Chains A and B, each alone.
Chain A
């Protein structure tokens, strides 16, 4: 028995090696290099050999040590469960600590310009994740074109700010309204589609917006992008080192030395507040009838219809509200970068935001934060290995779906429960 098992394992791993050879032989082993306009093939058999051996031996070892065991329930689920339990019991304190930490973060001694930039980027993704969580996590609509609303927000902010010279605080709600309008415009026809069709249509919509931004040169300057987007000011007080004659700036008003970090810190607090508003809004709306209708619709559409919930309008509000927060995040992005081009709104951005929501556990607000810190941190650490980090990123999406399809924080607490009657 034991010997036979050993034999099949050997056979299996040899087969794996053969498949690996077929997979990696041509693509990795025969690298095409352009030389004088003509492609040449540069063999790299050594790397292929290593990959094939690793695959075969790896398969052999997993056969021997993993599949051979009776107990197949891995450690992944127990880790996730303990994290969830921990967050359930200590959730309030942890959230409070996290918020306090993020408030004092800019003034910590080790915080420098680089860390601040990453923190601002992470908070932008957290905000986008929370916005998309309304659509995916609560309403259960897989939106693969969320970046379109981000783009609409960014461009409408930029265009209003450049052409009319309106301030950030006027343009922000306008950008949100524009994004929400686009959400309704897209959502109205497509929301009766089933899950996976909806995903593809939203993806197509995202690409359409990008192509439009790329080709509508008169309005968007196409691939050149929009430059000179006004920087935000502190309620009318700009961040400038040399103010114009008679102008009050942030540092002259408060009578402090000028420091370029002041603007960064202001941007940081701006996105922190915006993100927290998104979160607070989601937490509150979950308890309202509309929020409960979203979650009910996610679980069973037919049951909802029979109870008198209008699926189209309910989904449409989720779509529009999600889009609105995407638009807010977009206008923050525009004012922070001072330059936007269609390059920033590719499909991969949508995929990253979807991955954040899915990895965190759809519907979990804390999960979004954990997943953002993990994924953006990962991307940031491997910044020098452009394509390898994206391979790891895509692979992570597959692995999460296989081992924890409901994300890191898989447990879903009911939003509302009946209280136990005290008479019993």
Chain B
């Protein structure tokens, strides 16, 4: 019974952690390259969830096979949400690159309010419910009195996350684009002098971050089946916590942090208290920032005069 319960929480935690990890990559990449907390990133995730929802509803009217629907929805969500990320960067952050330190954060705060209320105005304030897209799954350990279930959806979520993370890790470590990104992180002026288009590199970073967030959004809407315009706020803070926990600026750190936050949240609600599950993430955030602000895989940040 206890082992079964533990195993079930573990499965749920890994699934949730995948979603947080995907959002956290967007935070960590943007922080790495321009040193700002993209406060609107959680709302980009929310927009991605809405686009995936609309796409699922439209495909439900047709008779296309399920794997193709999933693939098409994934692509549609990524492309359209990437447009949002790109536009937000161009409108709200690019003009502020040389401004004082807190200016981009306040601008991002404004952008987050705009996105939330824009989706509320366009799609209505009521919660949206999606019928389950992938049904069924495995069950085991039935004899212990607590049935552990591993749904196909959970397998799908974890698999897609692993594949996407592998692709993007390769992109960052092996390609010219990844080199340009890492160069921009170190020294933007020098990178520009080396003939790399810094603006373009930053734009692409936002596009990658937003499309990963949209995948997270798609999984969120499939997993919970319920979304509204406000989901981005909490998910955003938790994913940011994940990014900080893993070490902000580090992509593998974001994945690790996401996984840990997912597990912490699920075990907290499973064993301690479900009402205070959001407090768990916030407490982790505060504790991590105070005791080891560089996170697990981050580089120490030395302030110089």
Which one of A28, A394, A395 has the highest number of Cβ atoms from chain B below 10 Å of its Cβ?
A394
Contact pick for A196, options B101, B110, B129, CB 8 Å: B101
| CB pair A204 B282 closer than 8 Å | yes
For the complex of A and B, the 6 pairs showing the least CB-CB separation, nearest first, are A397-B110, A394-B113, A394-B114, A390-B117, A204-B282, A387-B121
Question: Interface code B117-134, partner A: CB below 8 Å = 1, 0 otherwise?
Answer: 111111111101111000
Question: Which residue of the partner chain, among A189, A387, A393, contacts B290 with CB atoms under 8 Å?
Answer: A189
Chain A residue at minimum C-beta to C-beta distance from B290: A189
Q: Say if the beta carbon of B206 comes within 8 Å of chain A.
A: no
Contacts known (A34-B126, A203-B237); A397 close to B286, Cβ less than 8 A: no
Give A389-413 as 1s and 0s: 1 = Cβ < 8 Å from B's Cβ atoms.
0110111111001100100000000
Q: Is B50 located at the chain interface by the 8 A CB criterion?
A: yes
Q: B305: nearest residue on chain A (CB-CB)?
A: A302
Task: Chain B residues near A31: list those with CB within 8 A.
Answer: 122-124
Interface string of A1-45 (1 = CB under 8 A from B): 000000000000000000100111111101111100111110000
**Interface magnitude class on chain A:** 35 or more
What is the CA–CA distance of A196 and B105 in the complex, to the nearest angstrom?
7
Residues of A within 8 A of B268 (CB): none
Tell me the complex Cα distance, A193–B131, Å. 44
Instruction: Determine whether the beta carbon of B129 is less than 8 Å from that of A34.
Output: yes
Cβ of B159 under 8 Å from chain A = no
Contact of B305 with A398 in the complex, beta carbons under 8 Å: no
Q: Which one of B51-59, B62-70, B170-178, B257-265 is at the interface?
A: B51-59
Assembled-state Cα–Cα distance A135/B117 (Å) = 28
Q: Which residues on A are within 8 Å of B, measured CB to CB?
A: 19, 22-28, 30-34, 37-41, 142, 144, 189-190, 193-197, 199-201, 203-205, 207-208, 211-212, 215, 302, 347-348, 351, 354-355, 358, 387-388, 390-391, 393-398, 401-402, 405
Shortest Cβ distance from A27 into B: residue: B122
| Residue B87 CB within 8 A of the other chain | yes
Q: 18 more A-B contacts (CB under 8 A) besides A32-B53, A190-B290?
A: A25-B80, A26-B51, A26-B55, A28-B122, A142-B102, A189-B286, A195-B101, A196-B105, A200-B240, A355-B110, A387-B120, A388-B117, A394-B111, A394-B112, A397-B113, A401-B96, A402-B96, A405-B96
Q: Which residue of A lies closest to B130 (CB)?
A: A39
Across the interface, A38 reaches (CB within 8 A) one of B36, B100, B105, B131, namely B131
Chain B interface residues (CB < 8 Å from chain A): 36-37, 47, 50-51, 53-55, 57-58, 79-80, 83-84, 86-87, 91-92, 95-96, 99-107, 109-126, 128-131, 233, 237, 240-241, 244, 275-276, 278-279, 282-283, 285-286, 289-290, 293, 301, 303, 305
Q: Which residue from A211, A347, A354, A394 sits with its C-beta under 8 Å from B276?
A: A211
17 A-B contacts (beta carbon < 8 Å): A25-B80, A26-B50, A27-B118, A30-B58, A39-B130, A142-B105, A196-B36, A197-B289, A201-B285, A204-B286, A302-B305, A351-B109, A354-B106, A387-B125, A391-B113, A397-B113, A398-B114
